[in-house]
Structure 1
Amino acid sequence: MAQNATAGRRYLRAFVSGFFVAVPVTVTVLDRFAYVARVEGASMQVRSCTLGPFLNPDGMLESDVVLLNRWSVRNYQVQRGDIVSVLSPRNPQQKIIKRVIGLEGDFIRTLGYKKQYVRIPDGHFWIEGDHHGHSLDSNSFGPISVGLLHGRASHIIWPPTRWQRIQPSLPPDRGPLDSEEEEG
């Protein structure tokens, strides 16, 4: 009986020491590499089939869960069409998921912002939800500082019927203006 108690204490010590190693490793992985997040709301739904993949096509019935790659944005590098997670400029406790429409130096035609055209300043980018009118995005608060960038959505991982890699893509009517349009 004493032998079982000694073995039990050994297993308990091994479990506790393993736990104290696993927790910091898990926190480091989540902080530096990737984590999963539920996409809630209608802001990333699209009414047309011209853009894909869009998120939450079933609306409130089922939310998509995406893999957010933190490693790929460690140098604040994003490209037009990426779906990114940023800290909300209005509420730093909240993360929002939107599509990158323009990068620093681009001229953007806005959708209801205080100016019709905006040149994106250095160190900033322009984000929008795919479902215009149902999104709190750069059209509400302007260009986003790259310092608020938190991760890039790389895969839809839930529900299983929607498993896929997310490729950067821009809606056909969005993105930076051509030089001819800027001059005109």
Structure 2
Amino acid sequence: MAQQAGFGRKYFKAFVSGFFVAVPVTVTILDRLAYVARVEGASMQPSLNPDGGSSSDVVLLNRWSVRNYRVQRGDIVSIVSPKNPQQKIIKRVIALEGDFIRTLGYKNRYVRVPDGHLWIEGDHHGHSFDSNSFGPVSLGLLHGRASHIIWPPSRWQRIEPSIPTDRKPLLNGSQKSSEDEDL
């Protein structure tokens, strides 16, 4: 009987020590590398949740790839909502800092994206709360880049950056000339 109690204590100690190693490692991975998130709503249809309310896509959000705020036009990103800091939203990057964009209902018809900001939009324009509602988004709110759809299994795929032709910037920041200063 005493042998069994010693045996149980040994496994309990192993479990506790493993737990105290696993938790910090898991927290570090989720904080620095990547985590999964369920995409809800219709704002990213047809790219994400193409079936509507019947199922939700689950995506892998790569935190490591955005650590230096390196994103490109067409990336699907997760950001902290500028209107509700308790919420994260997933949208497509349409324009980068310095780009000129024609908006879809924002207070100004044309906007130059300020330094340190992005212009994000949902793919389903009529059903999206995005930069057309709240303007350019600070890079500091960037949380991760969606790199893969991991659920449902029938939709397993890598997410490639793409922008609809009608939403491309009018002039991107790398094409600036001296004439742009007049705009």
Q: TM-score, normalised by structure 1?
A: 0.93
Please tell me whether residue 40 in structure 1 is matched to residue 40 in structure 2: yes
Q: What is the rounded CA distance, in whole Å, between the counterparts of 1:131 and 1:10 in structure 2?
A: 57
Q: What is the rounded CA distance, in whole Å, between the counterparts of 2:4 and 2:163 in structure 1?
A: 64
One-letter amino acid of the counterpart of residue 32, structure 1: R
Please tell me whether residue 22 in structure 1 is matched to residue 15 in structure 2: no
Residue 119 (structure 1) shift:
0.1
Of 145, 162, 170, 1:177 maps to: 170
Q: What is the rounded CA distance, in whole Å, between the counterparts of 1:133 and 1:126 in structure 2?
A: 17
Greater Cα shift, 167-176 or 98-107: 167-176
Please tell me whether residue 125 in structure 1 is matched to residue 118 in structure 2: yes
**Structure 1 residue ranges, 4+ long, deviating more than 6 angstroms after superposition:** none
Name the SS for the 1:133 alignment partner. helix
2:11 maps to 11
How many residues end up aligned between the 2 structures? 175
Please tell me whether residue 164 in structure 1 is matched to residue 157 in structure 2: yes
Q: What is the rounded CA distance, in whole Å, between the counterparts of 1:120 and 1:98 in structure 2?
A: 16
Gaps of 5+ in 1: 47-53
Please tell me whether residue 149 in structure 1 is matched to residue 142 in structure 2: yes
Q: TM-score, normalised by structure 2?
A: 0.93
Q: What is the rounded CA distance, in whole Å, between the counterparts of 2:81 and 2:168 in structure 1?
A: 21
CA-based RMSD: 1.4
Bigger fraction of residues in helix: 2
**Percent same amino acid at aligned positions?**
80
2:80 maps to 87
Name the SS for the 2:127 alignment partner. coil
Please tell me whether residue 116 in structure 1 is matched to residue 128 in structure 2: no
Gaps of 5+ in 2: none
